[in-house]
Amino acid sequence: MQKQDVITVQVLTTSGKAGSCATCGGTSLNPKLQNMLATKVKELTEALEASCPGKTQVSFVNVKESLEAQNSEAGQLLETGQYPPPLILINGEPRFAGYIDVDKIVHEVKKAIAK
């Protein structure tokens, strides 16, 4: 199998929800929650860059703000409640849901790079 040049990691969330925070309603993410998620995504990005320099691309997407993401298979997993947000995709495949575990994600990305 050919190694990939860049592994994509997407952190998908929905408006007003994250993990066990079922009371954060509204049409957009609670500012405190938004900041917390942004901090975790930054931490993830930095950890991946330190572990796998130049081999990863990380993005944070609120599916309510992106029609493409909302209509995607992964977006529908969040919209229908099959997975709790945030949903972590590695190369487009759902891998983790409900929280951002930086160490586990880095481990999975390293495995994907080695393939």
What number is the average pLDDT over the span 62-85?
92
The number of domains in the chain is 1
The two tokens of residue 109 are 């990305």
Range of the domain at 73: 29-114
The phi, psi pair for 54, rounded to 5°, reads 70, 5
Please state the length of the chain: 115
Residue with tokens 């919209």: 79
For residue 15, being part of any structural domain is answered with: no
Handedness of CA 101, 34, 112, 93 (dihedral sign): positive
CA neighbor of 93 nearest in space, from 70, 109, 110? 109
Cβ contact 95:108 at 8 Å: yes
Give the confidence band of 5 by pLDDT, cuts at 50, 70, 90. Answer: confident
What number is the average pLDDT over the span 32-50?
94
Q: What percent of the chain has pLDDT over 90?
A: 67
For residue 101, being part of any structural domain is answered with: yes
Average pLDDT, the chain: 87
For residue 108, being part of any structural domain is answered with: yes
Q: What is the pTM of this model?
A: 0.83
Q: Which CATH number characterizes residue 64's domain?
A: 3.40.30
pLDDT score of 17 more than 70: no
For residue 22, being part of any structural domain is answered with: no
